[in-house]
A and B are shown apart, each in its own frame.
Chain A
């Protein structure tokens, strides 16, 4: 049972345009959402997060939008750059991860973004 779904395995955009990566979740207990970026031969790295008390969080070229009623979030990258080409994972948890907690991140399957020069 996939609790976090990224229905687009791949996305291709032109440099300078907007990239929109989508993510849906089924578990209404999820309250904290993160996006990770992964380059080949590297581990995933944290990109941006949002908690359920917000509907938008922005960090430079990256903005995450959350629609709790639709159980949907999206990552916008504007403008897209060739260096953004990577696999993007959406992840969710019921609570903020803490050192001693038993919370875990549930990941989607990822979307491979290709930004063409």
Chain B
């Protein structure tokens, strides 16, 4: 158990819809990272927050947005969903030079 909690574990929705993925970092960690893993792809960095502020941005689509709240949990919002958005979405928090990952949220867009 990494201590990073992600909900929901599975989500099935239709094209054009909007979903929200939620992440709680490990106790004491202030950073949250979001990664996407599509079929046959590695983990693609999307965005990082530190203590409520955006710290780094990767290959995140404009249809996607994220935020980190005062209690340090983070939400990744995916809108106008397309079939290609089907993927595993991982959240991670950092400590001691490594990332600790949650179990991921599997999004299926039909």
Contact = CB atoms under 8 A, between A and B. Distances in A.
Nearest to B88: A43
A117 to B, nearest CB: 27
Interface stretch (B14-22, B40-48, B63-71, B79-87): B40-48
Contacts, number: 74
B33 to A, nearest CB: 7
B90 A44 contact: yes
Interface size class of chain B, counting residues whose CB lies under 8 Å from the partner chain:
20 to 34
Given A43-B102, A43-B103, A98 B94 contact: yes
A105 B45 contact: yes
A44 B35 CA distance: 11
B24 to A, nearest CB: 13
B7 to A, nearest CB: 13
A46 B95 contact: no
B62 interface: no
B58 A99 contact: no
A46 B99 contact: yes
Contact of A104 (B51, B58, B100, B103): B58
B97 A109 contact: no
Contacts of A108: 42
Interface size class of chain A, counting residues whose CB lies under 8 Å from the partner chain:
20 to 34
A45 interface: yes
A4 B56 contact: no
A105 B56 CA distance: 11
Interface of A: 4, 6, 9, 32, 34, 36, 41-46, 49, 89, 91, 96-110
28 contacts: A4-B42, A9-B40, A41-B103, A43-B92, A43-B101, A43-B102, A44-B90, A44-B99, A45-B2, A45-B101, A46-B99, A46-B100, A49-B98, A96-B97, A98-B94, A98-B97, A99-B30, A99-B95, A100-B30, A100-B55, A102-B48, A104-B56, A104-B58, A105-B45, A107-B44, A108-B42, A109-B40, A109-B41
